[in-house]
Structure 1
Amino acid sequence: MIALSRKREPRPDRPGPERSSVPTGVRAASEWSWRLLTVIALAGVIIYLVVVFQDIVVPLLVALLVSALLQPTVSTLMRHHWPKWLAITVCLVAFAAILAGLITLVVWQVRIGLPQLEHESVAAYNRARDALRQPPWNVTDAEFAGYFRSAGAFAQKDSAALVGGVLKVGTTTGHLLAGWLIAIFATIFMLIDGGGIWRWITRLFPVGGRPAIRAAGDAGWRTLTSFVRVQILVAVVNAVGIGLVAFFLGLPLAIPIGVIVLLASFIPVIGAIVSGIIAVVIALVFGGPLQAVIMLAGVLLVHLLEAHVMQPLLVGGAVKVHPLAVVVGVAAGSGIAGVPGALFAVPLIAVANAMVSAMLRVAHGTPPADDPGPEKVEVAGATPET
């Protein structure tokens, strides 16, 4: 008994574990730090590759958005026994016809209203100059011209980073044509065999990680299709609302204003600001200060409706990204790639968030939050189970 209760002394040839001199908190912080640096380095490499190969990446992203827009319609037509090739062809032709119609309508309206716009712009310039000549301003013509040039230079400087992304993509006719061809062919192949393309990508990963990759792909695609459809609805509501305000004010460029708002609404935050400024400036030039104030009120009302009704009810459920992340993402995207970066920032953030969440759920052994459970699979010629 005495021998059993005696403490066992450590043997000289088997020393016990040494206590680390580094505190636990510092050691944990260092482990987090180098992992975080690795993630940041990987993100930097990806951003660098995207910028270098943007002539290929941007058309592929455009094709992905167009495919997400058209794929539900193609699936609906196929469920109504349309051949796959016919459904894809009809959707692509209808999409191209809508784009061509919008461009033709804008060009036609601008050509009609351009002479009046030039005349009213000169008249507005003269009115502003005459008003500033009077007390208490007492601004001379030379000073007014200098202020006008300074404002133009300031606007040009601030918009250089944003417009630079457009100028980089397709700086020559050959690059622009190649980008359009890549976008068209990528859209066609994604609509024909998008699932097969993703299955091929999934097979590049180890077998143990393929279930998480498949779940991430499904979640990302659902998020992208929801985002595109909801964003189109939001853009149409904004365009119709602001366009109607311009129409009731009697502005000759009401339709181009609506189309500009429609296209700009796909760029969160920045698009609303730019399209609102354009609408207010046109109202000021054509109508005067009162019409500009009414237009500003209409723009604010429409965007308040978007921010407090459509964004929480529609966009929030589709994107599931905090508004601060949207603002930071749009700012970072516009700084990196101009207009394309601002356009693709929010869908990329939303898809990445959905994919990472789905992968974590699979890794933790929990089903996706929106998983309806196993679906009944109907096989042609099979007898239904009882």
Structure 2
Amino acid sequence: MEKKPLLNAGAEFRRGWWREVISRRDTQNRVPNFDGLEPAAPPEVENGPNSAYSVSWRIRVAASWAWRFLVIIAALGLILYGITKVSIIFVPLAVALLLTLLLEPMHFRLQKWHVPKTLSAVISLLVGVGLVVAMIWIATSQLAHGAPALLAKAGGGFDKALAWLSDGPLNLDQAQIDKYFKELTAQLTAFATKYSSSIASSALSVTSSVASVVTTILISLFCLFFFLKDGRQIWIWLIRMLPVPAREPVHEAAIRGWTTLNGYIRAQALVALVDSVFISIGAAILGAGSMTIPLALLIFIGSFIPIVGAVTTGAIAVLILLLDKGFMAAVIMLIVILAVQQIESNVLQPMLMSNAVSLHPLAVLLGVTAGTFLAGIIGALLVVPIIAFCNTVVLYLTGHDSMPELATRHDRIGGAPGTVHAQVAASYIGGSKKDTAKVMESQELSRQQAGTAASFPTDGSPDRTGDAVTDEVPADRACDIPAGDDRAGDGPATHTGGPSAANPGDPAFPEKREL
């Protein structure tokens, strides 16, 4: 009898797989005979406290995640909605905090030179605001001074473009070009006439926006002065509103968040300086001339907005060179800007921001996009510091200290480790270290009183343990103890014999009896 050849492993696997497919198809296509079934009892359904377990575990887990996620989204939405309603307060506070980070080194340096705190805050405020105003003034005045020449060159370029349309490869008729130009002018005039009311309302909204910006600047300067002068007192006032067990964790987390913000501002300032220097050097080489300095200042200010700031301000440089030097110079300027951005994102940002802000570039990009969508330029400016601060604070409160060296530094911002309760005590009286020590001693005596009162039996009889009874002297009766009595110390009052010499028979001074 001839034997069949053995199948190899691959052929056997394919045959078994196909058989399984056929079997599943036959099972799924099988139609039950409903008419031939016998009566059956209904399945048991569990009712009571454990009936929830009849729902699949996966469904219960998914439902738990779903409603918690919805609650988190609703809470975040309410917070954002509240911020938008009080943006006239929130935005100046946030801007003032960022400016405080920039001016704190000068403020602390002046205090080390024995300058009074109020005067130091005023000097730091005037110097910081003066520098910002000077940069903006120089940039805008230089751009306004060179704008007429640029517009004249732009008009000449437009005339050249019209001449190219008629004399170039397109060879268009001049009368036809003039006709199209007149039609375009007529359409623009009709559009302006039709939407004149909208243009007027837009002008009014711009006016109100200018008034809002002025109000924001004034409130920011006011808050900046008091943050520099009384920043520690304001923070301790906020801390003492918290429950006692929460004060130290929140204080330590806030110190780390503030240190993160400080590192972010310094790193961003260095990145902005590098962007402005290299882009302005490229503009100067390409022939920007007197526009080089205002371009450098604008790029420096705009680079504080991550990712999009330097590109947006660099587009001004591209436009200026396009109008002044032509198409090729503008293309080269664009290449320079993109090259500087690549160096910033691949070298400077990882090197400088990794220690200051532990955020992935994707988180920064998405945050800037969301902040721009929700609050415009202000949102793009503030969103990355807010994310960095919240990231550091949440990590610390959940047990991950990203800055363990701060736990042993006594020269850190916010005071030495373990002094938050002393700072809270000092904030109530506003005195010296001696006054603070008195307050802390009073609080310690109050705690000892509470512990001593809890240790006494309610019937007034002394507690007997072993062969002797040892009792502490209540803090409120310490003044009745003679100077030579052992009970005047901090330890327990241990004595033998009759009642107290100071107050015989007083139940507040139990005896130690040898049994």
| Residue 286 of structure 2: aligned partner | 249
Change beyond 3 A, Cα 1:24–1:263: same
Residues 326-375 of structure 1: CA deviation (Å, up to 9, x unaligned): 111111111111111111111111111111111111xxxx6554334434
Change beyond 3 A, Cα 1:372–1:181: closer
Q: Distance in 1 between matches of 2:249 and 2:311?
A: 40
Structure 2 residue 302 is matched with structure 1 residue 264: yes
- Which one is further off, 66-75 or 269-278? 269-278
Q: Would you say the 8 A contact 2:392–2:402 is kept in 1?
A: no
| Residue 368 of structure 2: aligned partner | 330
Alignment of 1:130-145 (within 5 A): 130-133=163-166, 134-135=168-169, 141=177
| Residue 189 of structure 1: aligned partner | 226
Q: Distance in 1 between matches of 2:57 and 2:323?
A: 67
Q: Distance in 2 between matches of 1:202 and 1:229?
A: 27
Q: TM-score, with normalisation over the residues of structure 2?
A: 0.61
Alignment match of 1:85 (pick from 107, 112, 118): 118
Q: Would you say the 8 A contact 1:238–1:302 is kept in 2?
A: yes
Q: Distance in 2 between matches of 1:279 and 1:325?
A: 29
One-letter amino acid of the structure 2 residue matched with residue 242 of structure 1: I
Change beyond 3 A, Cα 1:322–1:116: same
Count how many residue pairs are aligned between Structure 1 and Structure 2: 348
- Identity value in percent: 34
Q: Distance in 2 between matches of 1:201 and 1:109?
A: 46
One-letter amino acid of the structure 2 residue matched with residue 182 of structure 1: I
Alignment of 1:12-23 (within 5 A): 20-23=53-56
| Residue 27 of structure 1: aligned partner | 60
| Residue 117 of structure 1: aligned partner | 150
| Residue 374 of structure 1: aligned partner | 408
| Residue 104 of structure 2: aligned partner | 71
One-letter amino acid of the structure 1 residue matched with residue 283 of structure 2: A
| Residue 88 of structure 2: aligned partner | 55
One-letter amino acid of the structure 2 residue matched with residue 248 of structure 1: I
Residues 38-77 of structure 1: CA deviation (Å, up to 9, x unaligned): 2211111111111122122111111010011111332233
Taking CA–CA contacts closer than 8 Å with sequence separation of 6 or more, which of the two structures ends up with the larger relative contact order? 1
Q: Would you say the 8 A contact 1:245–1:298 is kept in 2?
A: yes
Q: Would you say the 8 A contact 2:322–2:330 is kept in 1?
A: yes
Q: Would you say the 8 A contact 2:261–2:389 is kept in 1?
A: yes
Shift of 1:192: 1.6
Q: Distance in 1 between matches of 2:86 and 2:74?
A: 18
Question: Counting helix residues as a fraction of each chain, which structure ranks higher?
Answer: 1
Rg larger in structure:
2
Backbone CA RMSD of aligned residues: 3.2
| Residue 314 of structure 2: aligned partner | 276
Shift of 1:91: 1.5
Alignment match of 1:99 (pick from 107, 116, 132): 132
Q: Would you say the 8 A contact 1:54–1:169 is kept in 2?
A: no
Residues 285-335 of structure 1: CA deviation (Å, up to 9, x unaligned): 100122112212221222122112210111232121111111111111111
Structure 2 residue 237 is matched with structure 1 residue 204: no
Stretches of structure 2 lacking an aligned partner (at least 5 in a row):
1-47, 192-201, 411-415, 420-431, 435-515
Q: Distance in 2 between matches of 1:55 and 1:381?
A: 39
- Which one is further off, 215-224 or 267-276? 267-276
Structure 2 residue 267 is matched with structure 1 residue 230: yes
Alignment match of 1:290 (pick from 299, 324, 328): 328
Q: Would you say the 8 A contact 1:55–1:169 is kept in 2?
A: no
Residues 233-271 of structure 1: CA deviation (Å, up to 9, x unaligned): 111111111112212222142222112211211112221
Q: TM-score, with normalisation over the residues of structure 1?
A: 0.80
Stretches of structure 1 lacking an aligned partner (at least 5 in a row):
1-14, 154-163
